[in-house]
Amino acid sequence: MTATAGLALDGLTVGYPHRRVVHDASFAVPRGSVTAIVGPNGCGKSTLLRAVARLHQPDFGTVRADGHGLWQLTRRQAARHVALFPQAPRAPEAVTVAGLVRYGRHPHQGLLRQWSREDERAVHEALEATGTRALAAERLDRLSGGQRQRCWLAMVLAQQTPVVLLDEPTSALDLGHVIDVLSLVRTVAAAGRTVVMVLHDLASAARYADTVIAMKDGRVIAQGAPPRDIVDGPLVKELYAVQADILTAPGDAAPIVVPRAPGA
């Protein structure tokens, strides 16, 4: 792993009984950057994140976060280096927003270290960063989908790990909330954290990420920084079996993917 890599995978291979899901994935993510993993459903994106987060043990390969081999650490130690926003998060019934965000401090607790001012400050900063401070006393299950998404992000940020993994953080959000969440992701990276996120929207990945990694059938088939170096018609066709035109956004020159109508 290079001196500036916040996360590095080398030959990561992950599977289930009788089925290999991720094949020999190798890449390095610079500290303080955003990497988006894209690809069709079932290509292994979420399984890869779960292996990085120590929720699914790989068959082969290594995962290192800020120089630490994650699978050589205890689960609690690893949780101080990597935090995961899962695809379908579940909270205890009737938990408040503040109660949820406090769960992010669990890896920092122990017999000799109880709740502290540092923990309280981390929770406060996470609520502020996600714009959820006014919701702190509200029950999570009574909030809108967009509000709940930001609250889960606050919990991940409160964990204060150098590496943040986000599995489809914009799923089921309207356009305004998508922009809010992805703008927050950029802010998190600007503060020095390494962010790796799974996205379905290739155009959003190209606009908000520093690097795009494309997966198909469990393999990394392309990666590029900046994303415009790899986001083109042939890649869209290979990933999604769709013909598309790639336009250039007038403001920031980000690639815009415009699928063609069948037969066009």
pLDDT of residue 111: 58
**pLDDT band, very low/low/confident/very high, at 1 (cuts 50, 70, 90):** very low
pLDDT in tens, 236-250: 999 999 999 999 988
Q: Ramachandran region of residue 207, left (φ > 0), alpha (ψ -120 to 50) or beta?
A: alpha
Percentages helix, strand, coil for the chain (3-state, rounded to 5) are: 35, 30, 35
pLDDT in tens, 98-136: 999 999 998 887 656 677 888 899 999 999 988 899 999
**1-81+162-264, which class in CATH?**
alpha beta
Domain ranges of the chain: 1-81+162-264, 91-160
Residue 172, pLDDT > 80, answer no
Strand-strand pairing, 219-224 and 211-216: antiparallel
pTM: 0.89
Q: What b/e sequence results for 120-136 when a residue is b if at least 16 CB atoms lie within 10 Å of its CB, and e otherwise?
A: eebbeebbebbebbebb
pLDDT of residue 2: 46
